[in-house]
Structure 1
Amino acid sequence: MSDQFVARSLDEVRFWSRIMKEHSLFLRLGFRCEDTQLINEANHFYTVFEAIENRSNAFTAGTDPSVIKRFNEEVHAAVTYIWAFKRKVLGLILTCQLPGANNFPLLVDHVSREANYFRNRLAELNLGRLEPLPDAIIDENVFFLRIMAEHAKFISHLLDPSERKLVEQANNFSQEFDQLLFQAKNLEYMRPQSQTVPLLDQFLDQNKVSVKALRDFKKTARDLIEACRIKSIIHPLLADHVFREAEHFLVIIDMFESSLKSKHA
């Protein structure tokens, strides 16, 4: 269990610290030039999470679990601070105190939910209280299906309106993942009776097919943006960022499928 704790902690911190670092950059790019205090705060968080990412990469699977536990506590504190910063920015936008800024309210809420997810995962790891498999399958999918649906919406709104075909594809993915999210919420409300192996297995299979399709769409969009072959205001790093999150979701689904098959056997 100690080895699993170290490996799982490092995987989570390495993935999400990079995500938090990039959130800082994206928020900064959306502020107005006169928002110097917010820009400075975003730059500070970029530095903080870059340092956390570098430190996490210096650890190995053989690191003392007590060292990783203390590291998780430090990271948890940093994530709590960036979560509070994101919620503050959301409040400023919704009370019309940042007119003309370019951060969508939904995007700021989206990145704050990811921060909250990250800090909750760190707390669970340190307490050794991860959810039972049937609950984890439903809860993780509810979380990530919403994330994927919102990615599609952001892509649609950040593409140039003249990119009609890509905008249509993004809107179709948005609707598809909204429907998958509604189905996941139905399964959530029906638990524990809904938590049978056949139902959970079908749930994962269905989601996996859609996530793979969205992942491939994001990869194509990323490659086109990097090659300057389409018109958009999407930062190339943002295109890669949402692609990596889809890849991460697929890894989680694969883990669940493997665990479900082992449990069934």
Structure 2
Amino acid sequence: MLSRREFIQLSLEHNLFFARIMKEHMIFIESGLLIIDSSLILEGENLKESFEDILEETVGLAEGAVSKPVLNSNEIVTPFTLESERITENLTGICIDKNITKSELELVSNSAFIHTEGLEKKLENLNERAINLVKEVIKYKEKILNKLLKCKMFANLYSLLIDHILREARYYLMALESIQKREMPVKDVLENQIFWDTIMKEHAEFVRGLLDPTEVELFNTANGFVGTFEKLIEKTKKAEPKNIPEITKKALEATTEIRDFKRQGTEGLINCQIKVMAYPLLADHILREANRYIRVLNIMK
């Protein structure tokens, strides 16, 4: 059973990371939909604003309480997030609350922080509202995916992308429900690694598919990462608990390499040095997911 301190830190950690991920999913969907689906655009915009509210509230509760490793990992925000948001807002016309990012950049951890019963209650309430909101997002993503698969709509969105972000929403929901029951969100180390290795593999596939045909070197690099993670996933599926240290080491090596590739890509998009059908916030988004996975792997190794 989670202690009060563990409950508070896990609640903050998951909401700081995933509430931002969810609101950015809405931006990605909104930018890919056509005017004929204006009702879906409006629904996504409302969900985005709701997650901004959750994220802003979480940031307000996190000062001093959030752990130092989480802040240092660059999984909540990176040095590129604010500029990525500014450019993406200008390119798409989609409003992004950049004040939240500024507040997150100022967050600090206090080792002497007292984790009070009052804060525990506030986070319990916040988690419950986040759970209800994630359930709405899951229904929204399922609706879009179903339409795409049945050729009932056209969008500048891969079906795999919607399936990908749908799985992330379900992961967030599962984690919050476990935390609310005072249970650790990750119960099976190998299963968790298969999930995140698949996410990393699909990031490489998305990059490969969005690059301009002339970006041959970057295409080949992304394609190489697809192969690396495919092999790692197959090996992890066959692994036994005794193999966890070896598998974790290989996952850490591969994720560190793709993290560096994503970081270079984010800088390249910000500086308009890469020809690609993407904006900087998408690159920064997948960079943060790699940063988080690296922190988790370092805990496990």
TM-score by length of 1: 0.90
* Residues in 2 aligned to 1:66 and 1:230: alpha-carbon distance in whole angstroms: 47
Aligned position for 1:95: 150
1:131 Cα deviation from its structure 2 partner: 6.1
* Residues in 1 aligned to 2:52 and 2:125: alpha-carbon distance in whole angstroms: 18
Deviations 1:199-247 (A, max 9, x none): 2111111110000000000111111111101111111100100011000
Match of 2:213 among 156, 161, 166: 161
1:183 Cα deviation from its structure 2 partner: 1.2
Q: How does 1:23-38 map to 2 (within 5 A)?
A: 23-38=25-40
Match of 1:179 among 224, 231, 236: 231
Match of 2:126 among 71, 75, 80: 71
TM-score by length of 2: 0.80
* Residues in 2 aligned to 1:110 and 1:35: alpha-carbon distance in whole angstroms: 21
Amino acid at match of 2:207: I
Matched, 1:85 2:137: no
Quick one: higher RCO (CA 8 Å, sep 6+), 1 or 2?
A: 2
* Residues in 2 aligned to 1:12 and 1:57: alpha-carbon distance in whole angstroms: 12
Q: What value does the CA root-mean-square deviation take over the aligned residues?
A: 1.2
Conserved 8 A contact 2:54-2:126: no
* Residues in 2 aligned to 1:20 and 1:39: alpha-carbon distance in whole angstroms: 15
Amino acid at match of 1:245: E
Amino acid at match of 2:268: L
Aligned position for 2:60: 58
Aligned position for 2:178: 124
Name stretches of at least 5 consecutive residues in structure 1 with no aligned partner.
Answer: 188-193, 258-265
* Residues in 1 aligned to 2:15 and 2:182: alpha-carbon distance in whole angstroms: 16
1:254 Cα deviation from its structure 2 partner: 1.1
Name stretches of at least 5 consecutive residues in structure 2 with no aligned partner.
Answer: 66-114
Aligned position for 1:219: 263
The answer to which structure has the higher helix fraction is 1
1:128 Cα deviation from its structure 2 partner: 1.8
Conserved 8 A contact 2:175-2:185: no
1:30 Cα deviation from its structure 2 partner: 0.6
Moved more, 145-154 or 223-232: 223-232
Q: How many residues align?
A: 246
Moved more, 56-65 or 135-144: 56-65
Aligned position for 1:39: 41
Equivalent position SS for 1:57? helix
